Amino acid sequence: MSSPRRTSPRLVAALTWTSTHRYHLVFGGSLFLLALLVAWWGVFLWRSIERTHQDRYSLIELRMQIYSSLLGHVEDSKALAGVIPKGEGLDVVACSDAESGLQIALSPFHQELCIVPQADVLDALDREYRRTAAMVAGEAVLSVVLVLAIAGMFYRLLATEKRSQQELQELWSRVTHEIKTPIAGIKALLQTLQTQEFTREELAPLLEMGLREADRQEMLAENLLIGQRLSRGAYAMRPARMALPDLVRGYFDRAGLQIRPEQVNVQIACPSDTEVMVDAGGLRMVLDNLVDNAVKYCGDGLVLSVLVERVGERVTVTVADNGPGFPPADAEAIFEAYRRLDGESSSARRGTGMGLHISRRLIREMGGNLTASSEGAGKGSRFVIAFWEAGSWRG
């Protein structure tokens, strides 16, 4: 009994690729056929114009031959006057005076005379030919531009889809790493607590470490959830009049913050009753991301400076750190989703690459803005959250 034939791995891979990209192949094939149709249409239409133009000249020549045969057999030259109707667009002139290359002699009796088309008739034919040719050329150019535009859009679609797939794969890689790290820490902590006994004093730092890991897990989940809702336009912000200095001071005074009190310096340079339109939960998420970003890049030597001040109708929150900073030209690039700066490897830092992107979108949903600046590598980073004062809110 013969064994079944094995399918070639290359064939399987080709079939799989074809199945995955079938819509791209159909669209690309349709675009190719459209380009062929446009080319065929252009050639066909151009030949039709040429043929029509030639047929009109042939028709004039045929009429000239008919009248030449009729008038050439009239012996009396005086009888030739007025024989050709004015609407025919033909004249009888001396052959030596004929300016047109299109002429037929009146044979056999009047070889010195020729029938020629009138100049305005030929001019009208040439003008009609040039007008029609220009119209077809314009339509052909427009068709080619449209085909190229569709091809360009198709190329951009493929490039965008490929980039989206790469970004999605990178996001899942980062998310997987971010999920596994806290889980591993919490699991190790629980295993330690299970196998050993600790005094209350020894237990406190372990529990604090477990809470920090749980906070990291919670912030990751919130970032992913908010990012998904923002992309679908389903995240509803509820800005309300609140005292911004009190909100910021309360945030950095709260228990469970990832940084120690001596690592942060909070300064208030505006009245405590300065109110802005802000969503408290959204602002807390933004500050969480900025603090996490500072801790991630600065490590244990973090020094965080927070300044709340009023400048005209604007109230700003400036968060500055002593971290590695970034090139000034990348001040906008760091807010792009999944973006990593040049020279930063994918495994060098924790994070999903979504924190700053989500933070800016949240602040803009509240009618404010989030900007970043740095004087260069090794000179720290500076993030500024700007709100309108409640009385001047533009929302």
- Contact in structure between 150 and 37 (CB atoms under 8 Å): no
204-224 residue pLDDT tens: 777 777 777 777 777 777 767
Distance CA 28, CA 238 (A): 46
Exposed/middle/buried for 31, CB within 10 Å: 0-12, 13-18, 19+?
middle
Domains of the chain: 241-341+349-392 (3.30.565.10)
Asked if pLDDT for residue 370 goes beyond 90, the answer is yes
Q: Are 314 and 384 in contact (CB under 8 A)?
A: no
Question: Do 315 and 270 contact (CB within 8 A), yes or no?
Answer: yes
Residue bearing the bigger pLDDT, 283 or 231: 283
Mean pLDDT of 176-186: 74
Decide if pLDDT at 1 tops 50: no
pLDDT tens profile 350-361:
556 678 888 898
- DSSP label at residue 233: T
**Nearest alpha-carbon partner for 302 in 294, 311, 312:** 294
3-state DSSP call for residue 319?
A: strand
Q: With cut-offs at 50, 70 and 90, classify the pLDDT of residue 383.
A: very high
Rounded to the nearest 10°, the torsion over CA 95, 97, 102, 108 is -10
Long-range contacts of 57-60 (CB under 8 A, 24+ apart): 57/102, 57/125, 60/89, 60/90, 60/102, 60/117, 60/121
**Where does the pLDDT of residue 140 fall: very low under 50, low under 70, confident under 90, or very high at 90 and above?**
confident
* Residue 346, pLDDT score: 43
Which of the pair, 333 or 164, is modelled with greater confidence?
333
Residue 267 CB partners (closer than 8 Å, separation 6+)? 305, 306, 307, 308
Q: How far is CA 74 from CA 22, 64, 78, 379, in A?
A: 77, 16, 9, 108
**pLDDT exceeds 50 at position 171:** yes
Q: Average pLDDT of the chain?
A: 79
Q: In the block, which residue shows the tokens 């493929």?
A: 158
Sign of the dihedral through C-alpha 61, 66, 69, 70:
negative
